Amino acid sequence: MKRLLLSALSIAALLAPSADAEPKKPFHFAHRGGAFEFEENTLFAFRSSYEKGIRGFETDIRMTKDGKLVILHDDSLDRTHHGKGPVEALDSESAKGITTLKQNEPLLFLDTLLDFLADKPGLYVEFEMKTGNKTLYSDDRIDEYVREVHKHVMARRPERSTWVFTSFDPRPLKAIRQIDPQAEIMFIKGGPLDEALMTAASEIGARRIACKMEGTTRLAVKAAQKQGFTVTGWPGHNISDYFLGLGLGVDAICSDVPVMIQEYIDSQGK
């Protein structure tokens, strides 16, 4: 009996998870400032997420007709603001009069967001360059757009922070690298992680990649990390998506519910 008990204890010890076996927790950050918890891409959203302990953000940059940079995801103002059509068709004075549908927040200009972030060291921020619509951003306009984005963003980067320029469109990523060979860039794919994404990212010098978590495999993530890529998973619509990213082993999760995730992590005492 004693021998049987010792054998059982030995087996249990082998099966028990060790601290070393616990998967690395991905860094989570606020997609559009926390799009499912606050009104997306508003100063209110970024401030509220920060006050709740979030130290990473993602946002979207567009350019008005007269060259001013604003924060907006869609090709059109219609879904999120009291406005119609592309912000690219407006001059900056007209854009200043645009407000959001839910809270009547003013359309956020990039400089206003950067002013908020400037005195907060240790942040991770992704600046997505929304140039995929070639009618709005022809090849001729990419250079002007990228130079303005780079100039404004890098002028206000707080110490110990990681600023990353991201896009689904390789054109602005290539242009950023021509301006600043040391800039952190990320290539985003609207689908799962595969060899084609890694090849395309390598061709433009990106060591960061972002992919949809649905359809991505753990093996693909490990292969990318072995090749030196930092892998971000999206979307993060709910806590289940966080667990999916945890299981896949991604390095970071771009989440619409960052505060919910933070509260869960805090509740676990980890």
Domain count, the chain: 1
Looking at the domain assignment, is residue 15 inside a domain? Answer: no
Looking at the domain assignment, is residue 19 inside a domain? Answer: no
Structure confidence at residue 90 (pLDDT): 98
The sign of the dihedral angle between the CA atoms of 191, 197, 200, 202 is positive
Helix (H, G, I), strand (E, B) or coil at 113: helix
The enclosing domain of 136 has a CATH number of 3.20.20.190
Looking at the domain assignment, is residue 73 inside a domain? Answer: yes
Angstrom distance (rounded) from CA 262 to CA 23 = 17
State the pairing for strand pair 252-255/230-236: parallel
Looking at the domain assignment, is residue 130 inside a domain? Answer: yes
pLDDT digits (tens, 9 = 90+) for 149-202: 999 999 999 999 999 999 999 999 999 999 999 999 999 999 999 999 999 999
Q: What angle do CA 194, 142, 253 make, to 5 degrees?
A: 35
Does this model's pTM top 0.85? yes
Angstrom distance (rounded) from CA 151 to CA 106 = 23
Looking at the domain assignment, is residue 17 inside a domain? Answer: no
Compute CA 256 distance to the chain's CA centroid, rounded to the nearest angstrom.
10
Neighbours of 65 (CB within 10 A): 14
Looking at the domain assignment, is residue 52 inside a domain? Answer: yes
Looking at the domain assignment, is residue 1 inside a domain? Answer: no
- Domain range for residue 254? 24-267
